[in-house]
Each structure stands twice: as C-alpha cells, then as structure tokens.
A and B are shown apart, each in its own frame.
Chain A
Amino acid sequence: NAGVMQNPRHLVRRRGQEARLRCSPMKGHSHVYWYRQLPEEGLKFMVYLQKENIIDESGMPKERFSAEFPKEGPSILRIQQVVRGDSAAYFCASSGTSGAWEQYFGPGTRLTVT
C-alpha cells in the first residue's frame, strides 16, 4: 500500500521560473493538504483541497501561488516567478474521511531557487 507520493524530490529553479510540485495521496484518500517548511522551522499550512475543490487556502500567499486537485491525477502546487524566499521544503499530506482523520505526509519536495 503506497504512501503519499511527491515528485520531484528535489527541484532547482532560477529566479523568475515556474515550479510545479506534484502530490499523489494515499490510496483511498480524497483530502490533500500542502505545508511549507522553512529551514529550522515548523511546518506552515498553505492549502487544503478535496477533489476539484479548494476548501481552505488561508495559508496560501495571494500572488504567484496556486493549487489544484483535479478529478483525475495528482494535486499540483504551482509557484510562478519564483524568488529566493520560496526556497523551502514543501510537504503534502493526505487523509481519509473517517476515524481520526490523521494526516499522512509525503517525503517532501525540496525547492531551491538560485
């Protein structure tokens, strides 16, 4: 039973380029969350999605960032015109629809902006 999958694991972008991060939830999970972790800090919530819907984007920067979770395929976090401050580890988590609603985390994508 595969866990949460993220790719790429490492991504290097020059300032001004676009970054696309992908997340495939655990089998049977329909809820996806994106978090960002800056070096030596805790995780900060960005966005919570269900299939084809954004439920909570209160942690998402207003500009350059967008997220989607289409009916088919992985969830995508897109960062346009990246800046050095976007360098961080981006983690995706997924949860099911019952029980403790525990969030299971993927391995993360480490984005470096040069």
Chain B
Amino acid sequence: ELKVEQNPLFLSMQEGKNYTIYCNYSTTSDRLYWYRQDPGKSLESLFVLLSNGAVKQEGRLMASLDTKARLSTLHITAAVHDLSATYFCAPKGGISNFGNEKLTFGTGTRLTIIP
C-alpha cells in the first residue's frame, strides 16, 4: 500500500523568505501531482510531474520529482501572503499503462505566510 509523508505538517514563514516542502512516498510511482487547498475550498491543481528529474515552475513555486529516491519537493521563493494555503502532494499508485488511477494524498502542509 502506497504511503505518503509530507513535512513539515505546519509551516509559518515570513514574507520574502524561501522554503521547501518535502513529499516522500513508499512505493514506486511514475507520476506525482501537487495541489493547493484554501480553507473550506476545493483543490486547485498546481503541478503534474511525469518523469524522473522533472522540474516545473510557476511564479514563486517550483516542484521537482526524483522517482528513484521517491521524493518530490515544492520550493517557495520569496513567499508572499497569497501563498498561504494547505499544499498536498499526491503520487499515482504504481506504474502502469493506465494514467487514470487513484491518487494517494499526503497529510498536507499548512503554510502560513506572515507579513
């Protein structure tokens, strides 16, 4: 059974600082997704990482995937208040020819940016 661990679970950081959220997963997976959730809201897709070594950037967020280490990171550069939210990583279970499979979500990292 695929298990996903994120750390830290809670992160409070000042505006302008950099930080990284880590996502470790227990069994082989060939793709991983990052989502953002605001309180009481749905999930917004941030990144889809499809292969080992994949790196994607959007604004102040950058995500990477190391399938050999079973590790993904979400790096925040020069944080701003608008980035306050809960961030989830979600690897797809296993490796198969079928992309349409369930996602296993991490526990989430609740990020608070302090002005």
Contacts and interface: CB of A to CB of B under 8 A. Distances in A.
Interface residues of B, number: 23
B98 to A, nearest CB: 8
A91 B43 contact: yes
Contacts, number: 58
A17 interface: no
A98 to B, nearest CB: 8
Nearest to A58: B102
A105 B33 CA distance: 13
Nearest to B1: A58
B33 A48 contact: no
A100 B102 contact: no
A97 interface: yes
Interface of B: 4, 31, 33, 35, 41-45, 48, 50, 88, 90, 99-108
Interface of A: 31, 33, 35, 41-45, 48, 55-56, 58-59, 91, 95, 97, 99-108
